[in-house]
Amino acid sequence: DVKVTQSSRYLVKRTGEKVFLECVQDMDHENMFWYRQDPGLGLRLIYFSYDVKMKEKGDIPEGYSVSREKKERFSLILESASTNQTSMYLCASSPPERVRGAFFGQGTRLTVV
């Protein structure tokens, strides 16, 4: 089975802190994604990457950056955390060929105080 592992289930950070969310997948997938999920808004794409060192902005990239130095690891960085970034963050990965669906991690519930 594909496994996508996010480094933390729950995080509490202070406003202005730099926050790193880590995601590792074990299936050699080329594509990796970061979403945030908020009540009433659904899942919204922040950034995605289709190859090492490649990244593309999603629908809501403001206030975030990403890093993909190795194929299996995709990091989401909140440069200066703000309270409106309190959310559930979900990482996903997928293979590039005829689509078989993206596989999600368990999520990180981030609270910024």
Partner 1 sequence: EDQVTQSPEALRLQEGESSSLNCSYTVSGLRGLFWYRQDPGKGPEFLFTLYSAGEEKEKERLKATLTKKESFLHITAPKPEDSATYLCAVQAAGSYQLTFGKGTKLSVIP
Q: What are phi and psi of 40, to 5 degrees?
A: 80, -10
Q: Does residue number 33 form part of the binding site for partner 1 (CB under 8 A)?
A: yes
Binds partner 1 by CB under 8 A, chosen from 48, 66, 68, 76: 48
Count of chain residues binding partner 1 (CB under 8 A): 25
Binds partner 1 by CB under 8 A, chosen from 19, 24, 102, 110: 102
Amino acid occupying residue 99: V
Nearer to partner 1, 42 or 69 (CB): 42
How many whole angstroms separate alpha carbon 21 and alpha carbon 89? 9
Residue position matching structure tokens 């991690």 = 105
Q: Does residue number 56 form part of the binding site for partner 1 (CB under 8 A)?
A: yes
Binds partner 1 by CB under 8 A, chosen from 7, 50, 86, 95: 50
Q: What are phi and psi of 102, to 5 degrees?
A: -90, 145
> 45 has which bridge partners?
35
Q: Decide if 10 contacts 99 (C-beta within 8 A).
A: no
Q: Does residue number 45 form part of the binding site for partner 1 (CB under 8 A)?
A: yes
Binds partner 1 by CB under 8 A, chosen from 12, 27, 41, 52: 41
How many whole angstroms separate alpha carbon 64 and alpha carbon 40? 21
Q: Residue numbers of the site for partner 1 (CB under 8 A)? A: 4, 31, 33, 40-43, 45, 48, 50, 56, 58, 90, 92, 98-107, 109
